[in-house]
Amino acid sequence: MKNGAIIFGILVLIAGVGLLFYAFMPELAVFAIPLWKWFLAAALLYWIIKKVAFSKTLANRLSLFIPLGLGFMLFEKEIGNAIGKSPDFVNNWYIILAAVLLDAAVWIIFRPKAKQFFSKNGSKGKETVTYGSSDSSDPVNFKLGSHIYYVDASTQPGVNLINQLGELTVFYQNTDTGDTEGTLSLNLVNQMGETRVHIPRSWHVDLSSDVSMGAVNCRPDGENTTRTIVIRVKNQMGEVNIVSDD
């Protein structure tokens, strides 16, 4: 079952239970709100959860101001009564305009970066390239922006990476030199970012993940695997993809 169908089913269940409460206990203030508003609120909640949990880009995941603004407009009367103001205490045009501008700002700041080609010098444009060092086992931290990290499989058996609010692409190089059968490890923390790990098709992936409102996807193992890589992922409101190009 798809994740979107699961969310939709939960929202329909909530709506059904709310309808029963509305039928048997209409005197409760929280259920005195018109029923059509609850159905529209459920649709907006579905929209927000789907964007936060299952959007493929960080910009889409954070652009929540339009559904939040529509939700405020939907319950403006109830909010006004709750805080002791008139039912139309805010101009709705200001709410819509502010929501559009805020979502536009999020998209400008966190929009997906265009793919570029890189030289060995390290960087080009706003995207940075980092080559791993065998001298350090400290975590390598990437924040915001777009990054490429190269792991030397012959000298870096263990790697620790942290991606915060950025786009990170990881490549393994020198996979056919040195100890080509030794087990490798990758510990990855992905916080509201997008991380893509490229590994050879011949490697077996031993994956374990701790996911909070996000997704971790891994390609299936091929036949006759020659090496094992142990990948431990902690993913918070982001997306991690483990892929093989060949």
Q: What is the pLDDT of residues 211-237, one digit of tens each?
A: 888 888 988 887 777 888 899 999 988
Specify the higher pLDDT residue, 11 or 176: 176
Nearest to 214 by CA among 165, 169, 151: 165
- Counting runs of H as helices and runs of E as strands, what totals does the chain give? 6, 12
Nearest to 68 by CA among 57, 81, 52: 52
The domain spans of the chain are: 3-110, 123-243
Token digits of residue 71: 């939700």
Token digits of residue 206: 């031993």
Specify which of 11-15, 108-112, 120-124, 233-237 reaches the highest per-range mean pLDDT.
233-237
Using the structure block, give the residue that is written with the tokens 């936060």. 52
Using the structure block, give the residue that is written with the tokens 């870096």. 156
Mapped onto helix, strand or coil, the DSSP state of residue 34 is coil
CA distance 149 to 162: 11
| pTM for this entry | 0.50
Using the structure block, give the residue that is written with the tokens 């929540």. 64
Cα–Cα–Cα angle for 140, 206, 225, rounded to 5 degrees: 115
CA 15 to chain centre: 27
CA distance 221 to 203: 7
* Mean pLDDT of the 104-119 span: 62
Q: What is the pLDDT of residues 154-181, one digit of tens each?
A: 888 888 899 988 889 999 888 877 777 7
Q: Within a 10 A sphere around the Cβ of 22, how many other Cβ atoms? A: 17
Q: Is the pLDDT of residue 143 over 60?
A: yes
CA distance 90 to 83: 13
Q: With contact defined as beta carbons under 8 Å apart, do 101 and 110 qualify?
A: no
Nearest to 185 by CA among 148, 216, 218, 159: 159
CA distance 86 to 92: 14
Q: What is the pLDDT of residue 209?
A: 87
Q: Are strands 123-124 and 127-131 parallel, antiparallel or unpaired?
A: antiparallel
